Amino acid sequence: MTKSMECKFLLEALSDYVDGTLSEELCEKIQRHITECQNCHIVVDTLRKTVYLYHATASEPANVPPNVRDRLFRSLNLEDYVE
């Protein structure tokens, strides 16, 4: 496989790789490739970090502002549950 083909393969397998759902054999293939290809190494690291940052922002509790909750309950005729 030429280097550019390896880069293309890495790109296609990237999500599975960072999610840890790629087979061991293919993981090893990617690990070998990124020791030789600096650009792919950066793409793997920064993609993993991108996913991590979004996970970090989404791990905070999802709350509905109190006035939005009040209007929601009223629109559903559940006003007796408005606190």
Which of 9, 16, 27, 70 touches another protein by CB under 8 A? 16
How many residues of this chain bind another protein (CB under 8 A)? 34
* Rounded least distance, CB 15 to another protein, Å: 4
Binding residue (CB under 8 A) for another protein from 28, 32, 45, 66: 45
Which H or E run contains 21? none
Name the token pair of 50: 């991108």
How many C-beta atoms lie closer than 10 Å to residue 51's C-beta?
A: 13
- Rg over alpha carbons for the chain, rounded to the nearest Å, is 22
By CB atoms closer than 10 A (0-12, 13-18, 19+), residue 18 is middle
Q: Which parts of 25-44 interact with another protein (CB under 8 A)?
A: 38-39, 42-43
3-class DSSP assignment, residue 80: helix
> Which residues of this protein are in contact with another protein, per CB under 8 A?
11-12, 14-16, 38-39, 42-43, 45-47, 49-51, 53-58, 61-64, 68-69, 71-73, 75-76, 78, 81
